[in-house]
């Protein structure tokens, strides 16, 4: 039986038959999974509780929200936090893991994993208890951290814009990060292999099939991108392409600087580029909670901050799989009227 969210979206539980079909990507959560309709977002059932709480969340005018599909936005998180809090590279808080400086409010729904009974790492619960003692962790650790942190707060979310409160874009600036689907699926594959909650054991080919067929957690890809793309002219929304950051980061930093109104100097923007460079981010320690990752798999795949390159899909996609993805991509890009850059 379906129910309705406070946002008006319909919640449809996934059947036991569907859950059993490919257990490596579907039997991940104790309470099962649901689709949020009409777009078909595929989430753990616990998402319904947190999505209703999100409708009443008070975003502040100086907050900045990074909205992305998984494995797309970490780089931009670091860029935005550095622009707002560390443009002179003198803020000691920069040594704190990025996941604490910039909470991902969509992570709360993932804390019902079968592989790990309670995925609320002490990294997060300790932060919340320090900021606001006595809060109930069951009400969403990351959402509450975002609520009580002093602004301007850089908040990350894999939830699409349509699941936020109706006045969200009129209140808070949003940076949406888009990445070409081939590199996205490669990065997501490595992530799902290394995260203990997923511990994906299937083949890359099967993973891509699930990606194309909109059966991966926190997908599907195209409705997520389309949801932002159709709002691209809104003055409080900036769409940034991952590949453009790769090609000319300074040009993109100038765009973000203008959008945020941070008025940083050229020297400060160069500081941001240096601080947010992938070698620099890796050298400071990766933004992850180690108890939740398979260390051996993570190291073999290149780490949480894996490569940060465009075009790595060429090392993974067979000619047949690449052709299948091309047909799928061409259909959707034609409908949306956009093009991607595919890396060297």
pLDDT band (50, 70, 90) for residue 206:
very high
Whether the predicted pLDDT of 303 surpasses 60:
no
More confident residue, 279 or 87: 87
C-alpha 334/C-alpha 318 separation (Å) is 24
Could you tell me which of 151, 163, 62, 61 has the C-alpha nearest to residue 105?
163
Per-residue pLDDT tens digits for 126-179 = 889 999 899 999 899 999 999 999 889 999 999 999 999 999 999 999 999 999
Q: The pTM is what? A: 0.91
Q: How far is CA 243 from the centre of its chain?
A: 16
- The confidence score (pLDDT) of residue 84 equals 97
How does DSSP assign 195-238, residue by residue? BTTT---S-HHHHHHHHHTT-STT--HHHHHHHHHTTTT-TTEE
- The confidence score (pLDDT) of residue 190 equals 87
For strands 154-157 and 173-178, give the pairing.
Answer: unpaired
Per-residue pLDDT tens digits for 229-261 = 999 999 999 999 999 999 999 999 999 999 999
- The confidence score (pLDDT) of residue 96 equals 86
C-alpha 148/C-alpha 103 separation (Å) is 11
What contacts 341, CB < 8 A, 6 or more positions away? Answer: 180, 241, 243, 244, 247, 310
C-alpha 183/C-alpha 179 separation (Å) is 7
What contacts 73, CB < 8 A, 6 or more positions away? Answer: 66, 67, 156, 177
The tokens describing 312, both together, are: 């790595």
The tokens describing 327, both together, are: 């047909």
What is the overall mean pLDDT for the chain? Answer: 88
Three-state DSSP class for residue 154: strand
For residues 228 and 160, the answer to whether their CB atoms sit within 8 Å is: yes
- The confidence score (pLDDT) of residue 201 equals 80
Q: What is the dihedral of CA 270, 103, 165, 137, to 10 degrees?
A: -170
Peptide bond into 220 cis (omega under 30): yes
For strands 173-178 and 64-68, give the pairing.
Answer: parallel
More confident residue, 306 or 170: 170
pLDDT band (50, 70, 90) for residue 285:
low
Domains annotated for the chain, with CATH where assigned, are: 59-107+148-336 (3.40.50.300)
Whether the predicted pLDDT of 10 surpasses 80:
yes
C-alpha 2/C-alpha 12 separation (Å) is 5
* Maximum Cα interatomic distance, the chain, rounded to a whole number of Å: 57
Per-residue pLDDT tens digits for 64-96 = 999 999 888 889 999 999 999 999 999 999 988
pLDDT band (50, 70, 90) for residue 290:
low
More confident residue, 117 or 202: 202
- The confidence score (pLDDT) of residue 306 equals 47
The Cβ of residue 188 has, within 10 Å, a number of other Cβ atoms equal to 25
Label residues 291-328 b or e (16+ Cβ within 10 Å = b).
ebbeeeebeebebbbbbbebbbbeebbeeebeebbeeb
Whether the predicted pLDDT of 42 surpasses 50:
yes
For residues 102 and 81, the answer to whether their CB atoms sit within 8 Å is: yes
Three-state DSSP class for residue 46: coil
- The confidence score (pLDDT) of residue 319 equals 92
Whether the predicted pLDDT of 287 surpasses 80:
no
Percent of the chain with pLDDT over 90: 66
Could you tell me which of 257, 254, 222, 239 has the C-alpha nearest to residue 178?
239
Whether the predicted pLDDT of 222 surpasses 70:
yes
For residues 14 and 35, the answer to whether their CB atoms sit within 8 Å is: yes
């Amino acid at each position: 039986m379906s129910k309705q969210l406070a946002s008006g979206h319909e919640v449809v539980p996934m059947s036991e038959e569907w859950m059993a079909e490919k257990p490596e990507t579907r039997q991940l959560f104790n309470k099962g999974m649901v689709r949020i309709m009409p777009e078909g977002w595929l989430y753990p059932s616990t998402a319904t509780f947190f999505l209703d709480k999100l409708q009443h969340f008070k975003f502040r005018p100086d907050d900045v929200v990074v909205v992305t599909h998984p494995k797309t936005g970490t780089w931009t998180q670091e860029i935005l936090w550095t622009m707002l809090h560390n443009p002179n590279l003198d803020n000691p808080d920069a040594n704190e893991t990025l996941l604490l400086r910039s909470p991902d409010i969509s992570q709360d729904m993932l804390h019902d994993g079968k592989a790990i009974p309670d995925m609320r790492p002490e990294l997060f619960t300790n932060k919340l208890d320090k900021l606001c003692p006595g809060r109930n962790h069951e009400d969403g650790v990351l959402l509450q951290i975002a609520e009580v942190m002093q602004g301007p707060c850089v908040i990350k979310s894999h939830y699409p814009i349509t699941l936020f409160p109706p006045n969200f874009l009129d209140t808070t600036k949003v940076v949406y990060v888009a990445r070409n689907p081939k590199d996205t699926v490669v990065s997501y594959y490595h992530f799902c292999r290394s995260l203990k909650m997923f511990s994906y054991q299937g083949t890359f080919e099967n993973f891509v099939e699930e990606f194309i067929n909109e059966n991966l957690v926190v997908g599907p890809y195209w409705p997520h991108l389309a949801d932002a793309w159709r709002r691209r002219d809104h003055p409080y929304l900036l769409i940034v392409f991952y590949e453009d950051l790769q090609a000319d980061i300074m040009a993109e930093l100038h765009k973000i600087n203008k959008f945020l109104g941070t008025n940083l100097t050229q020297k400060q923007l160069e500081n941001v580029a240096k601080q947010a460079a992938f070698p620099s981010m890796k050298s400071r320690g990766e933004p992850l909670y180690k108890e939740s990752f398979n260390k051996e798999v993570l190291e073999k795949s290149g780490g949480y901050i894996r490569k940060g390159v465009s075009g790595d899909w060429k090392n993974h996609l067979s000619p047949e799989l690449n052709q299948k993805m091309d047909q799928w991509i061409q259909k959707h890009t034609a409908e949306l009227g956009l093009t991607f850059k595919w890396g060297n």
